[in-house]
Structure 1
Amino acid sequence: MTTYSLLAPRVPYRPEQLLPYAALTQWSDAYRIWQGQALLNDPFQDFTYAAACGFRVPTGTGVTLMPLRHPHQAAIQAHSLAVASGHPVVAGFGPGAASFQASLLGAPYRSQLGAVREYVTVLRGLLEKGEVDHVGEYFTCRAELAPVPRPPVEIGLGVLRPRMARLAGEIADVAITWLTPAAYVREVVVPALRAGAEAAGRPMPRVVVMVPLALAAPDRDPVELAGVSSTGHTMLPHYADMLRRSGIETSTQDPRGNAGALLSGGAFLYGDKAELAARLQEFADAGADEIVLNVTGVHLKYGERASLTELEALLSAVAR
């Protein structure tokens, strides 16, 4: 059965700004609260703060960028959050754009897939076995993480294109997509995940899809909302390549055209509650195990009250 979760639609520069969304997760049918990467805050710390304030819910990072932390530190943070919250954690990671890697590391990873494989090797050794002895091209870690009782920590990978999806099938617990149309999930992501899992002789990872969307209203411009929500992603080469593979052409010179293309291509959803519920079911039918409602565009355009109201309405539309 597909579950529905929510993405915190803001970057909280003070941790208490996350609390309304943590509260909504606790008091509604939402399964989990997610945060993406931000450079003003740390999602592991924000979620721990929310737990300390009494909002103890399942959490997910979708995704934290690898250059920002060594996998040993990532394992400690994921472990600590699970202990503090008392709930399962999806610790999702990804290499980020090559330009971001260069800005922090001096040069991009020579092999994106190789760096990801090593990162997960260290994480899994520490989180599951309590120790790791790994010397690699990108990461070295000879360390222990004392086993103590805690809820599960699943290792997630950000997945956009077939090769990363196949690698996730081999080594990850969760595959996390962002801005991927339902047809692309069905025809590209899931088959690659399955192939990787079969090659490794393991179960296929759970599929989590982050879906940007907005409810239709007379005073709303869907192209504007799609642009506010996702223009930044369409300017990144790895997102542009994924969108092109899904049949959506974008350009670094035409942000509004990109937003319109996201709408027409099913990467940003817009409609009334019944229409959106049907469109979200397409993701479930495509193989998504967890659908994350992303109303960032609504929040940035209309504010917090509107985004909370939007999430409540959407959750009621998909509640079973």
Structure 2
Amino acid sequence: MTDYSVLLPCVPRRLEQALPFAGLVQWTGATRLWQGQAMVMEPHQTFTGLAGAGFRVPTGFGVTLMPLRHPYEAALQARSVALATGESVIAGFGPGAAAFQANILGAPYAKPLQVARQYVTAVRGLLDGETVEMDGPHYTFRGQLAPAVAPRVDVGLGVLRPGMARLAGEVADVVITWLTPPAYLREVILPAVEEGAARAGRTTLPRIVAMVPTGLQKDGREGDVPERLAVIGNAPHMQAPHYLDMLGRAGVDVRSGKLEDVARGVVETGAFAGGDLPQVVKALKAFEEAGVDEIVLNSTAVHKLFGTQETLSDLSTILKAVVAPH
């Protein structure tokens, strides 16, 4: 059975902006509250603050960017959230765009897959209570987290293309995708994950989590057509080289480079779940049928256009249609 979760659809500047969405997870059938990397209020602090305000819900980071923190701090921060919330955490990591790597580190990763392998392996070992010793080529350190009984922290990798999918199959607990069409997941990503798991001798596959942008079309609400919502919620992604490469592999015509053309392809391939409620539910079911274990509803565009109340209304309506209440 596929779980449904909620992405925090804004970058909060005050904790109270995130509270309604934590409440939505706490009071509905949603499984987990997720946030991607934020550069205003750091997500680990946001989730810890929500716990202090009484909203202790399972959380997910999808994904935080590896150049920003050492693997030891990454493990410590993730476990700190688990301790603060008393709930499970999925700590997802990704290398980010090459330009971001260069800006933060002085140069892009020469071998991103090799860096990701060492990073995830170190974080998993630290969370398991091991003394981790890394002797290069990318990280050189020796460390162990102070012992503490905490809820489970799973380690995930952000995955767009087959190479990272194979690596995730080898070393990650969770595969986290963003803006990936369901057919591409079924035909490209999942087989690559299975290949990596088999290569590593793993008998259990990582869980598959898909971040799915969505928005309902409602009578009397102007501007909520799927193509427009796709642009408003995902314009930076639909212009980034690594996302364009993934979308091109998934059958989206990205040759013109025009946002409206890419958005049309994103909608046509089902990467954006839009339309009326039956259409949205049908689009989400395609991800279930593709083998996704957890679907994260990304209503960023609705929030940007119509605000918190409309976003909560959309999410509540969709959740009622796809999951049973607590």
Q: TM-score, normalised by structure 1?
A: 0.97
Letter in 1 for 2:217: A
Q: Distance in 2 between the 1:195 and 1:117 partners?
A: 16
Q: Distance in 1 between the 2:206 and 2:217 partners?
A: 34
Please name the residue that 1:209 is paired with.
Answer: 210
Rate the CA distance shift 1:85–1:252 in 2: closer, same or farther, 3 A. farther
Please name the residue that 1:247 is paired with.
Answer: 251
Q: Distance in 2 between the 1:308 and 1:56 partners?
A: 19
Equivalence map 1:287-302=2 (5 Å): 287-302=291-306
CA displacement at 1:256 relative to structure 2: 2.0
Equivalence map 1:57-96=2 (5 Å): 57-96=57-96
CA RMSD of the aligned region, Å?
Answer: 1.1
Q: Distance in 1 between the 2:230 and 2:35 partners?
A: 19
Q: Distance in 1 between the 2:132 and 2:43 partners?
A: 25
Please name the residue that 1:45 is paired with.
Answer: 45
CA displacement at 1:251 relative to structure 2: 5.5
Tell me, yes or no, if structure 1 residue 269 matches structure 2 residue 270: no
What are the Cα deviations for residues 26-81 of structure 1, in whole angstroms up to 9, with x where unaligned? 01110000001111121111000001111001000000000011111100000100
Q: Distance in 2 between the 1:142 and 1:307 partners?
A: 45
Which portions of structure 1, spanning 4 or more consecutive aligned residues, are displaced by more than 3 angstroms?
A: none
Residues 130, 147 of structure 1: 8 Å contact kept: no
SS at match of 2:271: coil
Letter in 2 for 1:215: L
Q: Distance in 2 between the 1:259 and 1:249 partners?
A: 10
CA displacement at 1:253 relative to structure 2: 4.5
SS at match of 2:107: coil
Residues 22, 57 of structure 1: 8 Å contact kept: yes
Match of residue 260, structure 1, among 252, 258, 264:
264
Letter in 1 for 2:151: P
What are the Cα deviations for residues 68-95 of structure 1, in whole angstroms up to 9, with x where unaligned? 1111110000010001100000000000
What are the Cα deviations for residues 203-259 of structure 1, in whole angstroms up to 9, with x where unaligned? 210000000011122423322111101111011111000000000122585222222
Q: Distance in 1 between the 2:272 and 2:211 partners?
A: 10
Q: Distance in 1 between the 2:70 and 2:37 partners?
A: 15
Please name the residue that 1:20 is paired with.
Answer: 20
SS at match of 2:118: helix
- Of 27-36 and 243-252, the range deviating more from structure 2: 243-252
SS at match of 1:129: coil
Unaligned runs of 5+ in 2: none
Q: Distance in 1 between the 2:146 and 2:205 partners?
A: 28
- Of 52-61 and 125-134, the range deviating more from structure 2: 125-134
Residues 177, 209 of structure 2: 8 Å contact kept: yes
Match of residue 228, structure 1, among 227, 232, 237:
232
Q: Distance in 1 between the 2:45 and 2:115 partners?
A: 25
Please name the residue that 1:191 is paired with.
Answer: 191
Residues 36, 64 of structure 1: 8 Å contact kept: yes
Q: Distance in 2 between the 1:64 and 1:90 partners?
A: 11
Please name the residue that 1:181 is paired with.
Answer: 181
What are the Cα deviations for residues 113-134 of structure 1, in whole angstroms up to 9, with x where unaligned? 0000110121012101332111
What are the Cα deviations for residues 169-206 of structure 1, in whole angstroms up to 9, with x where unaligned? 00000000000000011001111111111111112100
Letter in 2 for 1:61: F
Q: TM-score, normalised by structure 2?
A: 0.96
Tell me, yes or no, if structure 1 residue 311 matches structure 2 residue 304: no
Match of residue 241, structure 2, among 229, 237, 242:
237
Q: Distance in 2 between the 1:287 and 1:65 partners?
A: 26
Equivalence map 1:273-284=2 (5 Å): 273-284=277-288
SS at match of 1:267: coil
Please name the residue that 1:5 is paired with.
Answer: 5
